[in-house]
Chains A and B, each alone.
Chain A
């Protein structure tokens, strides 16, 4: 159920990328897809009634092993979020530059591919 809702988020992003003509809208669609995937990866690693994968002095190691949520998806999703920031920044920079050159965000009007 929760997986399906998360997948709906991904589908909304996909719809936005496929049908919108505005460049900024397309970038927004990409960001929404990225959010859906990140959330899905963290959902897969969740353990019911789990604790965060952070130890302190009073933690019993065996109990921690049995109750902590999966730390590996979390570590990789941190990487994924930061890379998503870089990619989105580059895409927005291209949008700004194209707006300066053509005066519009509409991709159907940006046809002339000259230097």
Chain B
């Protein structure tokens, strides 16, 4: 029973943090509340006996916070001028209530919390990993054995996605500096022209 109390308190903390992150007017405080959510999540992973996950979560959260703060520092939310679409808001809320009710009933078909599938199904793959992991891979940490041996192709795909995303982010962020160094004069003049048109369009609004 003990761990469920801890998890409940921690989950309520996480949900409150998420609500503040969603509703805060200042972007920087929203981002910092998101950081609180992430670190709370890593403590939850520790309670759930997943130390590897807790470590990864902390590292990822720190990097993410740095990126978010880089994006938001000194920029407040300018309140939207147009009217709020009340009908749309009502539809969204009804949709979310419907999704929640559906999920609530779907979760009843799962096993109880604390009784995982590997306890009831004897030939689940996890049981084989737990039984033979040390013998077959030599890794005392079964999570690492799964990650780097049994499902190594999955990790290869993960690294591929990560590198693709980083290359994409770098390509998006450096854009202009690279073209101005190598670009022709015609390119530059066209760009300034379009920029001027853009600022005029903004003024019109």
**Chain A residues within 8 Å of B, Cβ to Cβ:** 1-9, 11-16, 18-22, 24-25, 27-29, 31-32, 35, 38-39, 42-48, 50-56, 61, 64-65, 68-72, 74-79, 81-90, 92-97, 99, 101-106, 108-109, 112, 114-115
Shortest CB-to-CB span from A28 to chain B, Å, is 5
> What is the chain A residue whose CB lies nearest that of B151?
A75
The 9 closest A-B pairs by CB, nearest first: A86-B165, A48-B114, A93-B169, A75-B146, A53-B142, A71-B142, A52-B49, A3-B107, A16-B22
Q: List 23 A-B contacts (CB under 8 A).
A: A2-B4, A4-B104, A7-B103, A7-B104, A21-B80, A32-B18, A42-B50, A55-B134, A69-B49, A75-B143, A75-B146, A78-B147, A88-B64, A89-B67, A89-B165, A93-B173, A95-B71, A96-B70, A97-B175, A101-B198, A102-B202, A103-B202, A115-B194
Total number of residue pairs linking A and B with CB closer than 8 Å:
255
> What is the chain B residue whose CB lies nearest that of A45?
B116
Contacting residue for A64 out of B7, B68, B130, CB 8 A? B130
Point out the residues of chain A lying under 8 angstroms from B67, CB to CB: 88-89, 92
Interface of A is mostly: helix
Q: How far is the CA of A112 from the CA of B197 in the complex (A)?
A: 11
Q: How far is the CA of A52 from the CA of B144 in the complex (A)?
A: 12
**Chain B residues within 8 Å of A, Cβ to Cβ:** 3-4, 7-8, 11-12, 14-15, 18-19, 21-22, 27, 30-31, 34, 37-38, 41, 44-45, 48-53, 56-57, 60, 63-64, 67-68, 70-72, 75, 77-78, 80, 82, 88-89, 92-93, 95-96, 99-100, 103-104, 107, 110-111, 113-119, 125-127, 129-131, 133-134, 140-143, 145-147, 151, 154-155, 158, 161-162, 164-166, 168-170, 172-173, 175, 194, 198, 201-202, 205
